[in-house]
Structure 1
Amino acid sequence: MTLWTATEAAKATGGRVTTDWTVGGVSIDTRTIQPGDLFVALKAARDGHDFVAQALEKGAGAALVSRVPDGVPEDAPLLIVEDVQTGLEALGQAARARCSAQVVGVTGSVGKTSTKEMLASILEIQGKTHASVASYNNHWGVPLTLARMPRDAAFAVIEIGMNHPGEIGPLALQSKPHVALVTTVAAVHLEAFESVEGIAREKAAIFHGLAEGGVAIVNADVSTADILRTCAHKHASKTVDFGRKGTDYVLTDVTQGPDSVQAVAQVGDKTVSYDVRSAGTHFAMNALGALAASVEMGVDLDQAIAGLKNWTPVKGRGVREHIALPDGGQIELLDDSYNANPTSMEAALDVLAASQGTRRVAFLGDMKELGLREVAMHAEMAQATAMGQVDQVHCIGPLMRALHQALPEDKRGLWFETSAEMAAHLPDLIRAGDTVLAKGSLSMVLARIVDGLRKMGQGSALDP
């Protein structure tokens, strides 16, 4: 299927094409580019222009560039614009304008990606659904997602994130969602914000981009709900809330099972039950937000609950797996290694505490971007309610040394500065019957712990 013709892309971006071409996708990475994609030569850690020749060799249909790169012939299929980032944004906005899909935007301090995936599971049984890949939610991820949107999509789910003030509003304006959802507000990115209230105002900026007649969905349980509501009332035609303190979509009961949670909610005069295929009561709240967004987009509530059953957590975000050990027995792995902040860390520890393992063991890495209180916030994790049910905690990173020192001696495991150093000791730290949690900020590479545990199941030597 043709996603963009040269003529359409040139009109959208105000650029110049060197020859006629068509493309069926859009890519920024030569490692994953598919034949027929438009390669976008963004400047990030490296200049994408250095990879245009490689992209064309791999079968790219064309490249979006600001100049003819070295080693690329003048008659190569190019779209030349003044600035590649601006060109990508223009392409995304043109894709959004030509598509009649119902669009939902999702942001929040925690739960964005899980909620986005839940929404995709619900909506894809209603019609052709386009959604952000992985966590493509930043200044290039959002326009890339929009530029990839098929013109015949019925629904689109756009994840919007931020690290600094002023990021969410422009991305929301590009996306123009019909429904915008804030999953929660928590102490994340405090390096860039003075307070949680500042974070709430930034999250609420998603409502600035609402399409005419748009609906704002607010988490009623967060302490900053009034900040969210104030912004929502300014920009939305309708504001609804969800949560235990909600009045529209009210979570009334959650039961934690070994591999799932069962929840009960009140929606108007209707009492409904729904299951979420992952342990963790926080997933019940994410799911309720997804159900609220779906219903506000016109999906029947019962059909939305049926679609939710198709959701499973994605890699590194709460995936649970069992690893058989060569000498007999098994361990249960809770892979929550993709990211971490105090709110999500406590939620993950709650899941670990509720597990049925002989021992409950945690490998915890630094939580980044917490600002001036970062050391104290790590130490305070020792007081988390769930810590009472955790048998041993191994800590990774300079900041996690504060937690290591604050832990009771009977729970205090090893401390290392890096995941690689800790991974080398896994065979001595884990035994059959354990339930093991791995969680930390992405830069702490807790995936090394996850991979090491899986290698134990293969009987392989660990590579530190």
Structure 2
Amino acid sequence: MSDTTILWTRKDLQAATGGQLAGDVKVHGVCIDTRTLKTGDLFIALIGHNSDGHRYLGQALEAGASCVMAHDEAAISTAGLTDDPRLLKVDDTMQALEALGRHRRSRFGGRVIAVTGSVGKTTTKNMLATALAPYGQVHASVASFNNHWGVPLTLARLPEEAAFCISEVGMNHPGEIAPLAAQIRPDIGIISTIGNAHLGHMGSIDAIAKEKATLFAVLPSSGIALCPEAPQGLALLNEALPEGVPLWQAGTADSSAIRMTGLACTAEGSRFHLTTPRGDTDVELTAPGPHLARNAALALGAIAALGLDPKAGAEALCHFRPEAGRGQQRLLPGNVTLLDESYNASGPSICAAIETMALMPARRHLAALGDIRELGQFADAEHRALAGPLTEHDILTFCCGSHMKSLYEALPRSLQGGYAETSAQLASLLRPALQDGDVLLVKGSLGSNMRALIALLEQPVPTTPHAPESA
């Protein structure tokens, strides 16, 4: 979207929120964080667990916001904005943000796709955004904006002239997807995977599948649902489908509506032929990993579900690159190749990352793993289960976190690289162990702070000064 595009006018803002706004403002973007605010944005003062956006009303206007949305009378008065024409006064900023999203969605004439999944939803969303670009203007969720504020914020930022909107949907407790799906009202629904992420909160894989399936339940009769072939909880997905809505599975089976054949995975990427109900195409990815090939099949399947020939989308995917923290590769000091998977983790995603690293030629393969969070009573068993794939691929493993200790102790001694309580402490053990030509996988849940480990490893290797020669 161009910085000069008018996203919201005074009339639209008042109609959507029922709020009071005196000034004839023109809004070019929507923001909830002054650190990312751009000139012409509407700043919304949300109240979170650890912060209150009302503290930054004045700062937002100084930074160039065209309008600020607020509800706290005391904060408005303290900021001297009671009579400011740039103040959009509402009853509740969170409810008003949702109202903005619903208002824009109700007037959007393009096609809407929603993506959820235990693993791979952000990558699938990013792949779909890349693949859809040749067909028209694409608006997609930023980063992992997939929760109770991320979804309405994505919709509030939706340009009316866009052809496609892709919204990511997340959850970690029962009942979270349905209200978000009701706001999005997707034409196409994608479940990237059903796995054990958030198992501690959900209690079982079936409970996870049932929650994911609520995304399919809101599809219109003209909609199409997509998932990988033979997912866990398939019966629950089928039960949730509205009458007349087909479920297209993507995989290698002959019965799959989105069928991959000739899949070849190397350290440089993957190749396969894709058959869809809207046409066939060859697919070549320059990012390695069988899981990325599966994500690409779902993304191209969604293009077919929109009634489009997927060939142009497949050509666009040749240029797809994973983001930092989601499979990006780069060199660390000492000629060590980093496979950066530090953003988040689950058992299946760690296994997929191991599978990817095993494709990469190296002097040695190493892994630095932090705790997988939100597994509850299943945590130790789920962590220990990773010993199998690590042993199979002969990966020297370094672990941090209380639950990863159970994995570390389950590994053969020859693969125990080192254990520490925190990622920063682990860095001091790992750094001297790295050697020229190694490949290192770094992965853990966001709360494990594996990014801190990477930051320490990226610092230049200190050189030891030579002692002066004896006379």
Residue in 2 that maps onto 1:433: 437
| Higher mean C-alpha displacement, 17-26 vs 431-440 | 17-26
Distance 1:459 1:35 in 2: 45
Report the number of matched residues. Answer: 454
Is 1:149–2:158 an aligned residue pair?
Answer: yes
2:31 counterpart (27, 30, 35): 27
Shift of 1:247: 2.3
* Cα displacement string for residues 242-266 of structure 1 (whole angstroms, at most 9, x for unaligned residues): 1234521122342221121222333
Alignment gaps of 5+ in structure 1: none
**What is the aligned counterpart of 1:238 among 246, 252, 258?**
246
Matches within 5 A, 1:105-144: 105-144=114-153
Confirm or deny that 1:174 pairs with 2:178.
no
| C-alpha distance in structure 2 between counterparts of 1:263 and 1:457, whole Å | 41
> 2:380 is matched with which residue?
375
> Matched residue of 2:211: which SS?
helix
**Equivalent of residue 102 in structure 2, options 84, 93, 107:** 93
1:397 CA displacement: 0.7
Q: Quick check: 1:411 aligned with 2:415?
A: yes
Once the 2 structures are TM-superposed, how far is the Cα of residue 141 of structure 1 from its aligned partner?
Answer: 0.2
Asked if residue 279 in structure 1 is aligned to residue 288 in structure 2, the reply is yes
Pick one of 348, 356, 361 that aligns with 1:356: 361
Q: Matched residues in 2 for 1:293 and 1:255: separation? A: 22
User: Paired residue for 2:15?
Assistant: 11
Partner of 2:425: 421
Moved more, 93-102 or 140-149: 93-102
What's 1:263 paired with?
272
* Matches of 2:53 and 2:396, distance apart in 1: 45
Which 10-residue stretch deviates more, 108-117 or 185-194?
A: 185-194
The 8 Å contact of residues 173 and 208 in structure 1, kept in 2 or not, is answered as no
Aligned-residue offset at 1:270: 6.3
Code of the aligned partner of 1:248: A
Q: Is the 8 A contact 2:123 2:295 kept in 1?
A: yes
Q: How far apart in 1 are the matches of 2:243 and 2:63?
A: 45
Q: Deviations over 1:9-64 (max 9, x none)?
A: 11101111143312100001111111111111111121111111111111111111
Report what 2:468 is aligned to. none
**Does the CA contact (< 8 Å) of 1:208 and 1:235 recur in 2?**
no
Normalising by structure 2, we get a TM-score of 0.92
- For residues 375 and 138 of structure 1, what CA distance do their matches in structure 2 show? 28
Matches within 5 A, 1:304-453: 304-323=313-332, 325=334, 330-384=335-389, 386-453=390-457
- TM-score between both structures, scaled by the size of structure 1: 0.94
d(CA) in 1 for partners of 2:311, 2:384: 44
Q: Which moved more, 1:369-378 or 1:215-224?
A: 215-224
2:279–2:309 Cα contact (<8 Å) kept? no
Select 2:210's aligned residue among 181, 201, 217: 201
Letter in 1 for 2:38: Q
Q: Give the CA deviation at 1:271.
A: 5.5
Q: Which has the larger displacement, 57-66 or 137-146?
A: 57-66
Task: Specify which of 51, 55, 68 is matched with residue 63 of structure 1.
Answer: 68
State the AA in 2 paired with 1:424.
S
Q: Which amino acid aligns with 1:118?
A: M
Return closer, same or farther for 1:97/1:271 CA change in 2, 3 Å cut-off.
closer
Partners of 1:25 and 1:199 lie apart in 2 by 35
Deviation at 1:311, TM superposition (A): 1.5
Residue aligned with 1:121, SS: helix
Note if contact 1:215-1:236 (Cα within 8 Å) is conserved in structure 2. Answer: no
Aligned residue type for 1:369: E
Q: Which AA in structure 1 matches 2:346?
A: N
> Residue 289 in 1 paired to residue 298 in 2?
yes
The C-alpha deviation readout for 1:288-323, integer Å capped at 9, x for no partner, is 000000111122121121122231111100011234
- 1:236 and 1:37 map into 2 onto residues whose CA distance is 42
- By how many angstroms is 1:424 displaced? 2.8
Separation in 1, partners of 2:217, 2:331? 44
Letter in 2 for 1:208: A
User: What residue number does 1:221 align with?
Assistant: 230
Cα distance in 2, alignment partners of residues 290 and 412 from structure 1: 38
CA contact (8 A) 2:341 2:353 kept: yes
Structure 2 distance, partners of 1:236, 1:294, is: 19
Contact 2:337 2:437 in 1 (8 A): yes
The residue type equivalent to 1:228 in the other structure is: L
SS at match of 2:222: coil
Letter matched to residue 375 of structure 1: D
Q: 1:148, CA displacement in angstroms?
A: 0.3
Does the 8 A contact of 1:258 with 1:354 survive in 2? yes
Q: 1:111 to 1:19 in 2, by over 3 A?
A: same
Cross-structure match for 2:168:
159
Q: 1:228 to 1:456 in 2, by over 3 A?
A: farther
In the alignment, the residues of structure 2 paired with residue 344 and residue 237 of structure 1 have an alpha-carbon distance, to the nearest angstrom, of 29
Task: Give the corresponding residue for 1:52.
Answer: 57
Residues in 1 aligned to 2:123 and 2:174: alpha-carbon distance in whole angstroms: 23
CA distance in 1, matches of 2:292, 2:25: 45
- CA deviations on 1:192-225 (whole Å, 9 max, x unpaired) are 2121011001111112332452111132231212
* Helix, strand or coil at the partner of 2:383: helix
How far did 1:268 drift?
Answer: 5.1
Aligned CA distance change for structure 1 residues 146 and 459 (closer, same or farther; 3 Å): farther
The alignment partner of 1:150 has SS state of: coil
Q: Hey, what's the Cα distance between the residues in 1 that align with 2:302 and 2:455?
A: 36
**1:455 Cα deviation after fit:** 2.0
- Which string of whole-angstrom CA distances, capped at 9 and with x for unpartnered residues, describes residues 137-166 of structure 1? 000000000000011111111111111111
